[in-house]
Chain A
Amino acid sequence: MIEAILILVGLAAFFGLVLGYASIRFKVEGDPLSDQVDSLLPQTQCGQCSYAGCRPYAEAIAAGEAPINKCPPGGETTILALADLLDVEPMELDEEAGETPEQPEVAIIVEKDCIGCTLCIQACPVDAIMGAAKQMHTVIASECTGCELCLPPCPVDCIIMVPLKTTTKNWKFKQPTPIENTYPVIPAPTDSELEKKL
């Protein structure tokens, strides 16, 4: 009896030590889940989710504090990916957060109106606006995420959002019409209808 207890205690102590060592030796830096969530977000840093950027929202999702449907730029694709990662039910996009833009947009500065105040430069979350005080500013289109954060600070409203031009290179095929819409589906008769017929 005593032997058995001693063996079990010994084993417990041994595995305890092994696990304790492993938890220190192989400690993961940072929060891996929030990193994974962050990698699925579109990184527009627009703040439409009411968090101050994608990373804070990712941390909130990882901590279970925020729902996964608050990212309008990501839209359905992001919600599906997040649902897949977190193993939760996909849900509809939160209407309060905004709508998914139909076409990606970029900001453009109307150059003749720009007074060179640098306010938009400070507002841009990805450093996509170039310029200096009292010099004309311009948006680097390839870096712009279309977050619209530069619009409110502009004192002369010289920034406009322009949809990206569709060319033969970024044009895409539409999804073929699903069968249900091309084939007249006759609903199966209900039990009562069947009884009537009989």
Chain B
Amino acid sequence: MSTGAINKSPLTKTKLWKFHGGVHPPFHKDDSNQTPISFAGIPEQLVLPLQQHIGIEAEPSVHVGDDVSKGQIIASASHNGLSANIHAPTSGVISAIEERTLPHISGLSGLCIVIDTDAKDDWKNSKLNTYPDFNNTESKLLLEQIQQAGIVGLGGATFPTAVKLSSSKAIKTLIINGAECEPYITCDDRLMRDEATKIITGIRILQKLLKPETCLIAVEDNKPEAIKALQLACQDDDGISDNVKVVAIPTLYPSGGEKQLIEILTGQQVPSGELPLDIGLIGLNIGTVYSIYKAIIEGEPLLSRIITVTGNGINKPQNFEALIGTSFNYLAEQAGGYTKMADHLIMGGPMMGFALADDQIPIIKATNCALISSTTALSESNSEYADQPTLPCIRCGKCMDVCPVKLLPQQMYWHIRAKDFEKAQDHNINDCIDCGCCSYVCPSHIPLVDYYRFAKNEIRDQKIAQEKADLSRERHEFLLFRKERDKRERDEKRAAHKAALQKKKAEAGAKGDKGENKKDTSKADAIKAAMARAKAKKDERDKESSTRKESLADKKTSDKDPSKKALEKNTELKKDEI
């Protein structure tokens, strides 16, 4: 159980708990949440990476030159494991299936499907079935629809939602995550304000599927309008207001982290290495609930998402509903273009997001924010972007005070510097959620999270290398065993053959015991006879060969004459010509 202080949410009067640590970076929410969500429009080209979810790449089901309609599956979920469908966000022609730069922290490229759009936005018959009466529909059908619609967790983890919902474990509490604690991002805030009734309907679908005892919608108290909108929508909607509760939680980063939010709402800690499902809880992001609504009620697969385009590098910060595959560049244009302050393009927020080198990169299902900002504004919340030198650790312990997972960041830092990853693992580095609180408070500007990410990658690679080594050892040992076995089998066969021959001989010897001498003499005779025959044959052959030689010699002499004559003739002829 949590050791945090128990307090009550002032707005919604619910009992709340507190997780350890957390920070208050400048939130900058008002920059972008003033105007309603608008549709960003259809760009000329959409680029859809095949990997937009956790798990295995989707497999392309279209070819270059194909016409696609809006909502058509262009890459289907792989059957080899966790995967999700990808749909054409609008109608057009497949112009390429090739490697393009991905919106990934590594800046690497990966296989993408490129659609040249035709501005018709034509569904044809690609719309899914609709289930307005979902309460009287089989759960299996609804889950199938969610799977078909390619819905993944839109909070950033991009775990295929249908898989999460299909768990057979009993659900006690359904938690809808509208905390949105990361600075600058307001896409969930705006969605809750603008589409509260649809979100509540989405929750009803989830209640039908999961049958939880209670359902909590957690929203940070810096979004009072969203809380009000949801409460109103709850009241309007008869029947479920009893067990759906909107909970205002104190504004603190990172209260939107799944495990942190669970602790705030229930006081329970999800044990290390386990999932919330293991303790009867399930968490879903607001955006995911909205896309479930769209899939079930409107028959629309996941074609677009809400994205915040914000920062002081953009003229009109706002929220867009953008088609998956739209480039950051296009969105920036729609938001009034870049200002002079546009130094960095960050996908995600300033705490956990990462910088992209190029604005031609497309947005994917996981992209909740495009933050275009100046270096100074960014360094407020993330010293990594600041142009300050890293100073030595002074062991102040601030990082330890703010760590929401109660790790010892400073200890891990020293172990990682010494490349002692085993010790780092002993300090549970794998429970680190990369929230960046430790880097944020570090007075020496040490990029602590970068160290942890580095160490986690190294640990992962070492684990893979170990598995590979074990496999190789097994195979090598089997190879040696196989060679040994083959040799042994061969030897055994030979020995058995030999033994059988000897046995035969012995048996024959036993039978012909009396006539042994006779046999011997007959054998000797036979040999003699054979030798005589061979000799006679040889003599004959010698004779034959000698006569043949003679005849050959005769032939040669007779052959020589005509050739000589011919040669002489030739020379004579040549002489004449000359």
* Contact (Cβ within 8 A) B451 A176: yes
Overall SS of chain B's interface: helix
B interface residues, Cβ below 8 angstroms from A: 51, 102, 104, 106, 108, 110, 389-392, 417, 419, 446-447, 450-451, 453-454, 457-458, 460-462, 465, 468-473, 475-476, 478-479
Question: Which chain A residues border B476 with CB–CB below 8 Å?
Answer: 43, 45, 53-55, 125-126
* Contact (Cβ within 8 A) A54 B110: no
**Smallest CB-CB A-B distances: 3 pairs:** A172-B457, A43-B472, A43-B469
* Contact (Cβ within 8 A) A171 B417: no
Complex Cα spacing A44 to B391, Å: 42
Closest to A181 in B: B390
Question: Which chain B residues border A183 with CB–CB below 8 Å?
Answer: 389-392
Using A145-B472, A172-B454 as known contacts, say yes or no to A167 and B391 having CB atoms under 8 A apart: no
Question: Which chain A residues border B479 with CB–CB below 8 Å?
Answer: 125-127
* Contact (Cβ within 8 A) A174 B389: no
* Contact (Cβ within 8 A) A176 B468: no
* Contact (Cβ within 8 A) B478 A127: yes
Question: Which chain B residues border A192 with CB–CB below 8 Å?
Answer: none
Closest to A178 in B: B417
Question: Which chain B residues border A53 with CB–CB below 8 Å?
Answer: 476
* Contact (Cβ within 8 A) B108 A167: yes
* Contact (Cβ within 8 A) A182 B390: yes
* Contact (Cβ within 8 A) B108 A182: no
Q: Chain A nearest CB: distance from B356 CB in Å?
A: 14
Q: Chain B nearest CB: distance from A81 CB in Å?
A: 9
New A-B contacts (10) at CB < 8 Å, excluding given A43-B469, A54-B476:
A80-B419, A126-B472, A128-B475, A145-B468, A172-B454, A172-B460, A173-B454, A176-B447, A177-B390, A183-B389
Complex Cα spacing A41 to B462, Å: 12
8 A Cβ contacts from A41-55 to B: 41-45, 53-55
Question: Which chain A residues border B453 with CB–CB below 8 Å?
Answer: 173
Question: Which chain B residues border A178 with CB–CB below 8 Å?
Answer: 417
* Contact (Cβ within 8 A) A45 B472: yes
Q: Chain A nearest CB: distance from B481 CB in Å?
A: 11
Complex Cα spacing A128 to B417, Å: 37
Question: Which chain B residues border A182 with CB–CB below 8 Å?
Answer: 389-390
Closest to B458 in A: A172
Question: Which chain A residues border B471 with CB–CB below 8 Å?
Answer: 143
8 A Cβ contacts from A66-114 to B: 77, 80
Question: Which chain B residues border A170 with CB–CB below 8 Å?
Answer: 461
Closest to B464 in A: A170
* Contact (Cβ within 8 A) B475 A179: no
* Contact (Cβ within 8 A) A42 B454: no
Question: Which chain A residues border B472 with CB–CB below 8 Å?
Answer: 42-45, 126, 143, 145
Q: Does A175 lie at the interface of the complex (its beta carbon under 8 Å from any beta carbon of B)?
A: yes
Overall SS of chain A's interface: loop
Using A42-B469, A145-B468, A173-B457 as known contacts, say yes or no to A168 and B391 having CB atoms under 8 A apart: no
Q: Chain B nearest CB: distance from A183 CB in Å?
A: 5
Q: Does A166 lie at the interface of the complex (its beta carbon under 8 Å from any beta carbon of B)?
A: yes
Complex Cα spacing A172 to B391, Å: 25
Complex Cα spacing A126 to B457, Å: 27
Complex Cα spacing A53 to B470, Å: 14
Question: Which chain A residues border B451 with CB–CB below 8 Å?
Answer: 175-176
Q: Mark A21-50, 1 if CB is under 8 A from B, else 0.
A: 000000000000000001001111100000
Complex Cα spacing A80 to B447, Å: 26
Query: A126, A127, A128: which has the most chain B beta carbons within 10 Å?
Result: A126
Interface residue from B106, B450, B475 paired with A126 (Cβ < 8 Å): B475
Question: Which chain A residues border B473 with CB–CB below 8 Å?
Answer: 38, 43, 54
Question: Which chain A residues border B478 with CB–CB below 8 Å?
Answer: 127
Question: Which chain B residues border A127 with CB–CB below 8 Å?
Answer: 475, 478-479
Q: Mark A149-186, 1 if CB is under 8 A from B, else 0.
A: 00000000000000000111011111111110011100
* Contact (Cβ within 8 A) A77 B462: yes
Question: Which chain A residues border B462 with CB–CB below 8 Å?
Answer: 77
Complex Cα spacing A145 to B454, Å: 25
Question: Which chain A residues border B110 with CB–CB below 8 Å?
Answer: 167-168
Question: Which chain B residues border A175 with CB–CB below 8 Å?
Answer: 451, 454
Q: Chain B nearest CB: distance from A90 CB in Å?
A: 11
* Contact (Cβ within 8 A) B454 A176: yes
Using A43-B470, A125-B479, A179-B392 as known contacts, say yes or no to A168 and B454 having CB atoms under 8 A apart: no
Complex Cα spacing A192 to B470, Å: 58
Using A43-B470, A143-B471 as known contacts, say yes or no to A168 and B389 having CB atoms under 8 A apart: no
Question: Which chain A residues border B102 with CB–CB below 8 Å?
Answer: 168
Question: Which chain B residues border A179 with CB–CB below 8 Å?
Answer: 390-392, 446
Question: Which chain B residues border A166 with CB–CB below 8 Å?
Answer: 106, 108
Query: B447, B460, B469, B478: which has the most chain A beta carbons within 10 Å?
Result: B469
Closest to A80 in B: B419
Q: Chain B nearest CB: distance from A68 CB in Å?
A: 16
Complex Cα spacing A143 to B10, Å: 60
* Contact (Cβ within 8 A) B469 A41: yes
* Contact (Cβ within 8 A) B106 A168: yes
Complex Cα spacing A43 to B468, Å: 8
Q: List 9 A-B contacts (CB under 8 A).
A: A42-B465, A43-B469, A43-B472, A126-B476, A126-B479, A128-B475, A166-B108, A168-B51, A179-B390
Q: Chain B nearest CB: distance from A175 CB in Å?
A: 5
Question: Which chain B residues border A184 with CB–CB below 8 Å?
Answer: 389
Query: B417, B453, B465, B470: which has the most chain A beta carbons within 10 Å?
Result: B465
Question: Which chain A residues border B104 with CB–CB below 8 Å?
Answer: 168, 171
Complex Cα spacing A80 to B418, Å: 11
Question: Which chain B residues border A128 with CB–CB below 8 Å?
Answer: 475
Complex Cα spacing A182 to B390, Å: 6
Complex Cα spacing A179 to B447, Å: 10
Q: Chain A nearest CB: distance from B410 CB in Å?
A: 14
* Contact (Cβ within 8 A) A172 B469: no
Complex Cα spacing A54 to B450, Å: 35
Question: Which chain A residues border B454 with CB–CB below 8 Å?
Answer: 172-176
Question: Which chain B residues border A172 with CB–CB below 8 Å?
Answer: 454, 457-458, 460-461
Closest to A84 in B: B422
Q: Chain A nearest CB: distance from B260 CB in Å?
A: 24
Closest to B416 in A: A175
Question: Which chain B residues border A143 with CB–CB below 8 Å?
Answer: 471-472, 475
Q: Mark A114-156, 1 if CB is under 8 A from B, else 0.
A: 0000000000011110000000000000010100000000000
Closest to A168 in B: B104
Closest to B475 in A: A126
Complex Cα spacing A77 to B454, Å: 15
Closest to B107 in A: A171
Complex Cα spacing A176 to B469, Å: 28
Complex Cα spacing A18 to B275, Å: 51
Question: Which chain A residues border B470 with CB–CB below 8 Å?
Answer: 43
Question: Which chain B residues border A177 with CB–CB below 8 Å?
Answer: 390
Query: A128, A173, A174: which has the most chain B beta carbons within 10 Å?
Result: A173
